[in-house]
Structure 1
């Protein structure tokens, strides 16, 4: 099987890799359709970063000036394997950063790796050319044992490089798997009523309540905050001007509950109005942790309300 040609300039493939990297990075920053972006980025993800890394480890094409060399097939296979490992490493380690696992952050990280390792490869190649600080070629009478040591060293170095990449990939995946799954942290908050059949539903809210009487209601809080959370719910009845300004408010009740992640807090309660008037706002304010001095819809973590007439 033939060796890589020594007639190509030492920078052509590296310049091509860096140029392609720039094109892919610009494409990820643009508003390209997902299909076109995938068509441009997939060859990059599967080959280019690994090629630059392999070139930095095995810089010389001409075996006359380098003992540790790769034939073309080996270089291509190592490039694909290294690219896949790098993509996995970057993807799983983005879990520990503020950046999501999206095309732009992944491509940016791999672009940095590509440019840095291509620079290392360029430097090492120029140190090993006949015009630089290159090594002397092996005499024609070199023994078979010396040639065998060279091949052994080449295989050993390649094995070490691939093994390290696999170990780092495995360690990264294991570390992320041991962490709690990260996603969007939020809390579901809503009002429910009980139907005649006894089912809870988000409809059938009271439109009118007689002064001095009570109406049974439910509110529900579902914790998706990825951690146990202390919730406080304040129930208010407010008189609101046509401009939207609250002219009078009173607290009807408050409730608190420590809710584990993934759990649902369902609270049944009675609403007993103490204000009389039309179109009063029955407001539920949800807080995490403590309450402010003056609970309002503006400083609540979540807010929901209905309009009622109190006669």
Structure 2
């Protein structure tokens, strides 16, 4: 495992701290042992602007939308939905005609306008195996958990499951589970364009490459990384939601990725174990890293890839 800030994971790992069976739990109700039961949710009337602020305040990638009276799940909104909106994707097209491209008026629309209504949820009595199978089948990163009255009682994420299995994946290597088709971009890409790339391809992060005169080499040399959360955090820091007029907002969206990318990127190598990746995600509070060999990006490994490894236990 390599990181430019030199974390020695092999020495820091504590395999004895995690009590796991040697395969996925198939016992009903096991999922609540690793799920978050103190769930932050928002009503459908909350503005898009305030929803983005709540996400950054708590560093959440998604928020369940619930009925204030019954507590039932009405939908879910993710960081990708917010990026879709800011990047002028389908989410923004839903409401832009109302305001004739008045960006500030649009971001004060209720979040119900961009939330996903066909939210998939599971019973709080579900097993870990059921959750893993459903997440992989539907390609979703989190599942709201509900009681017998369909009231929200918890939420479980890919990260929750991946970290709970740290210590059980020693024999599995990164090269067996990493994604080799990696979407990359360059430091000069504007934020708005990056949003479109991420939304169209379902990406939470994009490695930034370049820095070589030889174009064939520049397309693989890692310079940094930008995540969906990095972009939303930057927009919050610029007080885009509160203080800018439409023209100024457009200017912020033209900011180059070189201004916000993480240059000291955490990386993995193909021969690293999945177990080390779990520990890396926990230590660094991240959900995916580029896989690099000889300074070239050869893949990317994420929490979803770890779920595939867990499924094969």
Band the TM-score falls in, shorter-chain normalisation: under 0.3
Q: TM-score, normalised by structure 1?
A: 0.24
Q: TM-score, normalised by structure 2?
A: 0.23
The answer to which structure, 1 or 2, has the higher relative contact order (CA under 8 A, 6+ apart) is: 2
